Amino acid sequence: MKKILQIIYKQKSDDGICKYAFETGDGHIIESVLIPNKSRQTLCVSSQVGCRIKCSFCATATIPFVRNLTSEEILAQLDIITGEKGTLNNIVFMGMGEPLDNYANVKAAVLALNDHKQYNIGQRHISISTVGLADMIRKFSDDNLPANLTVSLHSASDIGRKAIMGPGHRCSIEQLGDALEYYRDKVGRKIILSYCLIANINDSDSDLGKLIELAKSLDAQINLMQFNAHEKCSHRPASRDQLMKFHAALDNAGVTNTIRFSKGNSIAAACGQLARQRQ
């Protein structure tokens, strides 16, 4: 009987990141990334073959959307890599695809991950990253899924979001803010916004001011990172000086923020670089 997924290749970067390419039963390729450190092993899983959102900075956006992954295919990524590497104790839905655009299958996978009779992974160790589908954030909140939610913001203005995120994000900053306030009030968890700094796109003083204003209005935490360049996109990362400027300004404004330094660039395994390439 054909396996749900089969490894077709794997790569390891100099900084210890491992990328796995899997072939599905119907011949499509998805990628997963294992991020080890001293305290835990994190697996970044994919939820779709391709992605409908088409963010301008993401390599996955350059390939056609084919279909959603089933919950079995999502969990198979974990099962196979666990078989090779041992226990994985942190799962992030930040690979190929928009998780909330495949809500039913992602929900089933999250519930299995959290179930003490199955994977027994705690809520704090399961994270879902979304571009910010407002209606689905409300659905996520109503269902009180046992997972953290991170929103890939990348601009705090409607004009900026439209340019960076593409047509698939489908909601305004006001609509997104309302949905996030609903999430915060409904489930009582901190709002986390991810902000990827792209040179001459979203790294101006005006962009910084709008980010501070939005973060303070939502009492949100900001995860800052530099754009991970790849051959499928002409964008370039903002300078380290700009990254540190945003960090200092957020600190001075009383906004909790963290810098996330990327790993896995040498094997196209960093955030925004997954594109199901055959070797």
- Residue 205: C-alpha distances to residues 101, 163, 164, 198, 217 (Å): 33, 18, 17, 13, 18
Burial 231-262 (b: 16+ CB within 10 A, else e): ebbebebbeeebbebbbebbeeeebebeeeeb
Where b means 16+ CB within 10 Å and e means fewer, 99-121 reads bbbbbebbbebbbbbbeeeebeb
Q: Pick the catalytic residue: 18, 31, 44, 196? A: 31
Q: For residues 151 and 192, what is the distance between their CA atoms, to the nearest angstrom? A: 6
Is 23 a residue of the active site?
A: no
| Residue 271 appears among annotated catalytic residues | yes
Task: Determine the Cα–Cα distance for residues 17 and 42; give it in Å rounded to an integer.
Answer: 10
The SS3 of residue 205 is helix
Active-site residue (options: 51, 55, 196, 271) = 271
Rounded distance, CA 121 to CA 135, Å?
A: 27
As a whole number of Å, the CA-based R_g of the chain is 18
Which residues lie below 8 Å from residue 215, measured CB to CB, with a gap of 6+? 156, 193, 221, 222, 250, 253, 255, 257
Q: What positions carry a catalytic annotation?
A: 31, 271
